[in-house]
Amino acid sequence: MATTNDLKNGMVLNLEGQLWSVVEFQHVKPGKGPAFVRTKLKNVMSGKIVDKTFNAGLKIETATVDRRDMTYLYQDGQDYVFMDDSTYDQITIPAEIVGDASHFMLENQSAIVSLHDGQVLFIELPASVVLEIQYTEPGLQGDRSSAGTKPATLETGYEIQVPLFLETGTKVKVDTRNGSYISRVND
C-alpha cells in the first residue's frame, strides 16, 4: 500500500483487480477545497490510457513489479526470445507484449523486462537507440536545410522520417518512445 503522495512515473498500481502503470501525475492544490492528484494511467494488459483523479493522501494498492535486465537474443516466429542477464534463463515473449518496442530492437540489445507474478507485463527500452539506415532516397544536391524530411527504412525494417541530407548507411539516433529522429551519429 502507498498513498497518492508517493506516486511516481512508471509505478504500477492495482486498481479494481487490474494493473495500471502511471504515465504522468500532477499534484494540484486549488485555492479552495482539498488537494488532489491528477493522473494519466495506462492499462498494462490492454494499453488503454485513462485520466483518473485521486484525493491527496488516499491509500492505493501498488503491484509488486520485478524489473529485470535482459538481453534480446532473437525472434522465433511471432515471439521474441530474451535472456535474463543474471540467471541466463531464456524467456519467450509474445509479439503483443513486445509491441512497438520491436521497431527498435536489434539482437544482443539490452532491455528491461517487467514481470508480475511470473507474467511478463511490458518491455522498456533505453530512451534512444542507434540504428543504421538500410534504405532512403538519395538527397538532391543543395538539400542541406533542416526544413524537409524524407522516409528512411531502418535496419529493423521500421520506417521513420529523417532530414533530406541523410543517406543510406548513415547511423542515426532514434527516440524509442515516439519513433522520431534525434540526430546523426558519427562513427
pLDDT per residue as tens digits for the range 154-169: 999 999 998 888 888 9
Q: What's the pLDDT tens digit per position in 34-81?
A: 999 999 998 887 878 999 999 988 999 999 888 899 999 999 999 999
Looking at domain 128-185, which of 2.40.40.20, 2.40.50.100, 1.20.1260.10, 2.40.50.140 is its CATH number? 2.40.50.140
| Burial group, residue 37, by CB count within 10 angstroms (0-12, 13-18, 19+) | buried
pLDDT of residue 146: 56
Q: Given a cut of 60, is residue 143 above it in pLDDT?
A: no
What is Dmax (Cα atoms) for the chain?
A: 63
- Residue 7, pLDDT > 80, answer yes
Sketch the domain layout of the chain as residue ranges: 2-60, 66-124, 128-185
Residues 3-32 have a mean pLDDT of 90
Backbone dihedral angles phi then psi of residue 95, each to the nearest 5 degrees: -60, -30
Q: What is the pLDDT confidence band of residue 140, given thresholds at 50, 70 and 90?
A: low
Amino acid (1-letter code) at residue 50: V
pLDDT of residue 144: 58
Q: What is the pTM of this model?
A: 0.74
State the cell numbers at 171.
547511423
Across the chain, what does the average pLDDT equal?
Answer: 88
Q: What's the N-to-C CA distance of the chain in angstroms? A: 48
Cα distances from 108 to residues 60, 73, 179, in angstroms, run 38, 5, 20
Tell me what pLDDT residue 177 has: 85
Q: What is the 3-state secondary structure (H, E, C) of 27-86?
A: EECCCCCCCEEEEEEEECCCCCEEEEEEECCCEECECCCEEEEEEEEEEECCEEEEEECC
Question: What was the pLDDT predicted at 52?
Answer: 94
| 142, pLDDT greater than 80 | no
Q: What percent of the chain has pLDDT over 70?
A: 95
**Confidence tier at 118 by pLDDT (50, 70, 90):** confident
Count Cβ atoms within 10 A of the Cβ of residue 18 and give its class: 0-12 exposed, 13-18 middle, 19 or more buried. middle
| 3.50.50.60, 3.40.50.2300, 2.40.50.140, 3.40.50.620: CATH of 66-124 | 2.40.50.140
Spatial contact of 107 and 74, defined as CB atoms under 8 Å apart: yes
Task: Check for a shared fold between 2-60 and 66-124.
Answer: no
Strands 18-28 and 36-43: antiparallel
**120, 101 contact by CB (below 8 A):** no
User: Hey, which CATH number is domain 2-60, 2.30.30.30, 3.30.70.60, 2.40.30.170, 3.40.50.920?
Assistant: 2.30.30.30
